[in-house]
Amino acid sequence: MTTSSSQSTTLWSDLLLRAMAELRELYNPLEDQLADSQREDFAHLFDGSAKLDEMLQQSAPNRHDLMNVLSAIRGYGEMLREDLATEHAELDSALTRLLKGIQAANSGGDTSEPASATQRTITTEPGFILAVDDLQENRELVARYLSRSGHIVVTAAGGEEALRSLDQADVDVVLLDLVMPDMDGREVLRRIKEHPEWRATPVIIISGRQDMDGIIECIEAGADDYLFKPFNPVLLQARIKAGIERKRWHDREQLYRQQLERNEKFIRATFGRYLSDEIVTDILERPEGLELGGDLRRVTIMMSDIRGFTSLSEQLEPAQVVSLINRYLAAMTDIIMAYHGTIDEFIGDAILAVFGAPQYRDDDADRATQCALEMQAAMEEINRLNREDGLPEITTGIALNTGDVIAGNIGSERRSKYGFVGHAMNVTSRIEDVTAGGEILIADSTLQSLNNQYRTGDSRELKVKGIDELLQVHQILESDR
């Protein structure tokens, strides 16, 4: 079969099967009013429909057999129309459509109807559809329509069965008949929307045109869409497509959220040791924060060092050295983080921290200076604890320098860290070298960056390798505030 002929098969067979489904629906309430011969005609008609259905499942149905079945359907359809058309307008119109479908089959797929809506093919990614309807014909019809467009369709004859199916499979869209004997569609809908995992699954309500109130009720209860019976297959496909897309969006969104959560966990674990919670949160909240590329930043660099620690440590037991240094580093870390400093590294007893990266703030120099003052103030408490534990008292010197550095993920793919490079780092180290115990020395560049006033002590000039001019450094004594 060529594509075009199979497409025209789809066209007329859709028309036919749709009309047949309508006839089944119309027939059920009428059955008792009909004469025996009419009931037989209907039975034969449905029989023919079943055979037709069977044939259409085949990839290349025998034309002769097909025409025999169509002929039979046409015959019974015409007989029934002759008998019943005047009394039953709905039946007449369904039969007329049925016969039109046969006519279309015979003329190679042409319908006299304006075919624009029928011919539109709706392409969509295949989905997993659960069709819930107590009438077997309706289930089969829906299954046929939708499996033809590549969807996987499972059917359920009632509410309980539907809920079981939902439990077993990841359903993309639920097509839900409103009126069912065992569990009403409303109840099924309520259970779906209450379920933590199912609630995101779009539900399309299928109902008779007369039950608008029921549909409104369902939409208020969380249904996503609705279709009137008998439904237009193109409309059904369009709604299914929209439903699948909605579900896919939700799935993707959930996936992204999980990835983000993983990333966030990773970032918190990675940066949390060096950065304050607030900075980690800031990074996470900025989309570009996830891609910390290297960039040039103006930062205030802090370097602190315990004076004479190397010789001190030689006189102590290793365990004492560790507890001494840990107490000191823990206290200093807390203070630096409180001032939103980024700890770049501990080098033995030395701390290298940066203010202004990954996030620049206007008061970077001020916070660094305040931080240094508080660190010095904290030494009193540390030394009190050291005395209690029989450990020696220690003093620290803190150097601050403000300058441009490259900040970013530095290293190789296997091992990288958020770090800083630049001459300003070396300059800070040079200042640190000349700081005495209990002293805070800040470079002229930091002093110029301060917004607040601080009481300064002596100023000195240092010779720094690589710079011709002498570097001005100032002693900070306390905040003037």
Partner 1 sequence: MTGTILLVEDNELNRDMLIRRLVRAGKEVVSAADGQQALDLMRSEKPAVVLMDMNLPILNGWTACRQARADDTIKHIPIIALTAHASDADRLNALEAGCDDYATKPVDFPGLLIKIEKLTGNC
Residue numbers at the binding site for partner 1 (CB under 8 A):
41, 44, 47-48, 51, 63-76, 78-79, 102, 105-106
- 102 or 244: CB nearest partner 1: 102
> DSSP for 448-466?
HH-SS-EEEEEEEEE--TT
Which strand (E) or helix (H) includes residue 251? helix 233-271
Q: Smallest distance from the beta carbon of 40 to partner 1, in angstroms?
A: 8
Q: What values do phi and psi take at 230, rounded to 5?
A: -75, 135
- 55 or 350: CB nearest partner 1: 55
Q: Smallest distance from the beta carbon of 52 to partner 1, in angstroms?
A: 10
- 74 or 340: CB nearest partner 1: 74
Q: Smallest distance from the beta carbon of 139 to partner 1, in angstroms?
A: 24
- 24 or 74: CB nearest partner 1: 74
Strand pairing category for 128-132 and 152-156:
parallel
Length of the chain measured in residues? 481
* Structure token pair of residue 378: 């904290």
Q: Peptide bond before 358: cis, by omega within 30 degrees of 0? A: yes
How far is 55 from 69, CA to CA, in rounded Å? 9
Using DSSP's 3-state secondary structure scheme, residue 205 falls into strand
How far is 84 from 256, CA to CA, in rounded Å? 59
Closest residue by Cα to residue 177 from 239, 236, 229, 247? 229
Whether residue 66 contacts residue 48, with contact meaning beta carbons closer than 8 Å, is answered with: no
- 92 or 211: CB nearest partner 1: 92
- 72 or 350: CB nearest partner 1: 72
Q: Smallest distance from the beta carbon of 78 to partner 1, in angstroms?
A: 6
Q: Among positive and negative, which fits the CA dihedral 247, 249, 253, 256?
A: positive
Q: Smallest distance from the beta carbon of 71 to partner 1, in angstroms?
A: 4
Q: Smallest distance from the beta carbon of 48 to partner 1, in angstroms?
A: 6
Any idea what DSSP says for residue 134? Answer: S
- 46 or 128: CB nearest partner 1: 46
Q: Smallest distance from the beta carbon of 62 to partner 1, in angstroms?
A: 9
Whether residue 451 contacts residue 362, with contact meaning beta carbons closer than 8 Å, is answered with: yes
